[in-house]
Amino acid sequence: MDRKKFIQTTGIGLGLALVPKLLQGQNQEAKNTFSTNAKPKIVKDSEGDVLNVIGDIQTHKLVGSDTGNQIVEWVDNVEPGVGIPPHIHTLEDEIFRVIKGQIEIMVDGQATILNPGDVAFAPKNVPHSWKVIGTEKAKMMTSAFPAGIELMFQEIAKLPPGPPDFEKVTEICGRHGISFL
């Protein structure tokens, strides 16, 4: 039997003809799934939902309900000496972009000083921390994807003022897939 007849009689030819179209349809469907609830939004520098998350003053610019749960972005406006201790996210990746000041960031055991314009990426399941160094207040744009972490920040921001109850903070973070080292 020649090759053409073999392919025709075994159905392989039909499979080879259909698979690329099926895969193309699956890719298109997956691509559309991510953006079904996303809507255009412009946020000015002075706009956003301001939260005090244990001294980390965050202005949330985009949240999951804005982006189809793809990403959340906030601006950290932080005094010298304020930071986040080593921790691990199990649900989201993070990107840190320094706009003003200096941030010492540790990602996977490697500490680096970030200056304005510098960027760091902390994938999920990788230990990381950051702290404002020097004498200048720092401003940093932080992105997390997928979205969802903003719900944790909202919950922490509602805790009573004063010294934080780290046991409560740890419990809230744990429910959102974050553990401290």
pTM of this prediction? 0.78
Count other C-beta atoms under 10 Å from residue 70's C-beta: 15
Identity of the residue numbered 137: K
As a residue count, the chain comes to: 181
- The kind and range of the H/E element at 22 are helix 12-35
Tens place of pLDDT per residue across the chain (181 aa) = 554 454 455 554 444 444 444 444 444 443 434 556 788 999 999 999 999 999 899 999 999 999 999 999 999 999 999 999 999 999 999 999 999 999 999 999 999 999 999 999 999 999 999 999 999 999 999 999 999 999 999 999 999 988 889 999 999 999 999 999 9
